[in-house]
Amino acid sequence: MTETTRRQALLISATLLAGTAFGLTPALAQTFPARPITMVVPFAAGGSTDVVARIIAQKMSEGLGQQVIVENVAGAGGSTGAARVAKAEPDGYTILMGTVATHALNPLMLKRKPYDAVTDFTPISLLVVVPNVLVVHPSLPAKTVPELIALLKADPSKYNYASSGVGTPLHLSGELFKTMAKVNMQHIAYRGAGPALNDVVAGQVPIMFDNLPSSSEFIRAGTLRGIAVTTKERAPSFPDMPTIAEGGLSGYETYTWNALFAPPKTPKEIVDRLNAEALKAVKDPAVQERLKTFSATVVGSTPEALGEHVKAEIAKWTPVVKEAGVQID
């Protein structure tokens, strides 16, 4: 066989293989899923993302006819688990329960980028939004957002605020507040919301931005004062608590959200099937009741809407991260 003939044969073989592969995609999509699906949660078990994942995974399992197994892959603020899904086979059998951390904050703050939040994932659906909340120790003489802003402006070097750690959505909620209100507070970073809450309840730090579910029992008990929620709308679990935007910072909005993503180049037929089952899950009355217990607001979006949401979140947080000067190795 001459060199020219050999090249022609290789080209024909490659063309046939490519055609076969493309031809198999619809067939594979039609039989999907044929085995269990792994839903990667990029944080430790027990947190709000893990809870949402397990509720959704259980319901999706019923509709898909295959078990959706939750696997916790913690590390690097969620980036370890997210990177694993970004590099997985695009067959629908490995999906990610992503968050604002994995798809907006980490990509902006990490010096080494393990993935591109936009191009390295296929969006499936934005599932829920969980409010954050601005709380203070009851001894602080401020009961509203305007009163707190006035207090901070009157003595710019006096007050500190706590968060669950550097670079977390809660830390950046505080930085966004500072920027928009034109006030100063010293950030006190803790290793988790639990230790931070303990010090705020004890009066060691007067102010904190927290996930609403974590602070709820303290607000109801009166050991913390809920000033305002950080979402655009009031939280159903605390209908009398105003939003920060209502308090005078028009346009202020932060929250924790959970969304499903697949690896890049996952076939549309498979994405559509996963999206349909995710939407069925979040619309189920029993699922909604469970999600309401920790103030989660159900969204249930199209893949396209989630893709636009990620881009919007990156655009929103870019100036905040830059202003805060947060960089993580």
Please give the pLDDT value at position 13: 44
All CATH 3.40.190.150 domain ranges of the chain, comma separated, are: 10-130+256-319
- At residue 28, the pLDDT reads 59
Task: Give per-residue pLDDT as tens, 68-88.
Answer: 999 999 888 789 999 999 999
Contacts 24+ apart (CB under 8 A), 215-224: 215/133, 215/135, 216/294, 216/295, 218/135, 219/133, 219/135, 222/138, 223/138, 224/135, 224/136, 224/137, 224/138, 224/197, 224/200
Task: Give CATH superfamily name and number for 10-130+256-319.
Answer: Bordetella uptake gene, domain 1 (3.40.190.150)
d(CA 89, CA 86): 9
CA distances from 269 to 264, 277, 308, 309 (A): 14, 13, 20, 22
pLDDT at 197 over 70: yes
Q: Which residue would you say has higher pLDDT here, 30 or 164?
A: 164
| Positions of CATH 3.40.190.10 in the chain | 131-229
Residue 160 corresponds to which tokens in the numbers above?
């500190």
**Rounded distance between C-alpha atoms, residue 132 and residue 231, angstroms:** 7
pTM for the predicted model, two decimal places? 0.78
**Quick one: pLDDT band at residue 62, thresholds 50, 70, 90?**
very high
CATH of domain 131-229: 3.40.190.10
**Number of neighbouring beta carbons within 10 Å of residue 4:** 8
